[in-house]
Amino acid sequence: MLEEVRTALALAPWAVSLLTTLPVVAFAVVGALAPWLARSLGLHRVLLLSLVAVVVGLGARATTDDGALFLAWTFVAVSGMACANVLVPSLVKWHFPHRVGTATALYTTAMALGLTLAFTTTVPVADALGGWRWGLGVWTGLAVVAVLPWLGLLGHDRRPPAASRTITFGQVARTPIGWALAGFFGLQSAIAYTMFGWFAQLWRDNGWSAAEAGALVGVIAAVGIPLSLVLPAAVARARDQRPLLLAVMACYPVAFVGLMLAPERWGVLWAALAGVGGTTFPIILVMIGLRARTHEGTAALSGFAQSVGYLVAAPGPFVAGLLHSATGGWQAPLWFLLALVAPLAALGAYVSRPVHVEDQLAARGARAGRVSP
């Protein structure tokens, strides 16, 4: 629906690039506040407020005729998603401390289902009901349904006890694992949001219809459904996660080179390979849980890795859009994505090491104690 929204709201090229970048900006800015909000209000209350923001933002942006307001309400919606996404690993660690892989697999599979449903049905819904506003606005109803289970948790919400609030954002910033996870999360997010923001237009520009292009992006998401169900648990069980992680990431360059050489052919194959590469997302989420010993550590690590990571990711979709506008084609954006794979693989090899943020903080404290007078 990007082309239809751009035409209807008279969005400038820079505004279109900004629109595809807003999710990562929201995750960077709002994600950093999520652990503090959880400590102040309670995890379940913050999840509820996050979903309310999603409902309001999605509903309002589907009804506005102003391009600036469309961007603003989009930011409200994705800010709610950002806050929730940062806190879910902490909830998993809290409620399922001994089943992190299984619980992560379940919720990342649900996310993959949602992505697939959105990509494959938005255009048909818009065509059936009369325009892009319906195609985008219908998801407000699903967000309302998502609010309901959290209402029952408000009466007995819990906040982390004061004595356990020992790991802060700044402390995580002084650990190698914190920065490695942030870098890995940022690079995989830059690739993912560029694919989800621009690949439908790439396929449309190469002769595919709007519905076909949406379906191909849906394939990217759909591949994640079965893989999200099995990969997090497999990663959690593995003593060495590097072979599995590197095998997944190897699918990215094959997909990008294929799109360079034959974007009008083998669309399902390139989409499927890109989807396999995209399962680095559920893998990094389970890695966050595995690289901390407590749910407090997980919350701090998740907040740091996701907020800083999304700052790293924010230029990705924007740069890809500018490269497309400057060159009039998709070769340059694809080369840009290809260049991100090498550092992604290097960081993936590091975060696969069996280290914990609490241990690195303790070691840093011990070294500081030895050198103090």
Sign of CA dihedral 304, 308, 18, 122: negative
Specify whether the backbone of 353 is left (phi greater than 0), alpha (psi in -120 to 50) or beta: beta
Separation between Cα atoms, residue 249 and residue 345, nearest integer Å: 7
Domains with residue ranges and CATH for the chain: 2-153+168-363 (1.20.1250.20)
CA dihedral 41, 47, 53, 56 (to 10 degrees): -120
Please state, as a whole number, how many other Cβ atoms lie within 10 Å of the Cβ of residue 134.
15
DSSP state of 157: -
Q: Minimal CA–CA distance to 123: which of 218, 259, 245, 27?
A: 218
Separation between Cα atoms, residue 285 and residue 104, nearest integer Å: 7
Q: Minimal CA–CA distance to 22: which of 82, 65, 64, 63?
A: 82
- Amino acid identity at 47: L
Separation between Cα atoms, residue 246 and residue 297, nearest integer Å: 26
Q: pLDDT truncated to tens, each residue of the chain (373 aa)?
A: 788 888 888 888 888 878 877 887 887 788 778 777 877 888 888 889 999 999 999 999 999 989 889 999 999 999 999 888 878 877 787 778 778 777 877 887 888 788 778 878 888 898 898 888 999 999 999 999 999 988 887 766 665 544 445 677 788 888 999 999 999 999 998 999 899 888 988 999 988 888 888 889 889 888 888 887 788 778 878 778 888 888 999 999 999 999 999 888 888 899 999 999 988 888 888 888 888 887 778 878 887 888 788 888 888 888 998 899 889 899 999 999 999 999 999 999 888 888 888 888 888 777 766 544 4
Separation between Cα atoms, residue 364 and residue 373, nearest integer Å: 16
Cα angle: 366, vertex 86, 1; to 5 degrees: 150
Question: Over the stretch 181-192, which tens digit does the pLDDT of each residue have?
Answer: 999 999 998 999
Q: At what angle do helices 100-129 and 210-237 cross, to 10 degrees?
A: 170
Model pTM score: 0.73
How many Cα neighbours within 13 Å face the side chain of 347?
A: 23
Question: Over the stretch 146-179, which tens digit does the pLDDT of each residue have?
Answer: 999 888 877 666 655 444 456 777 888 889 999 9
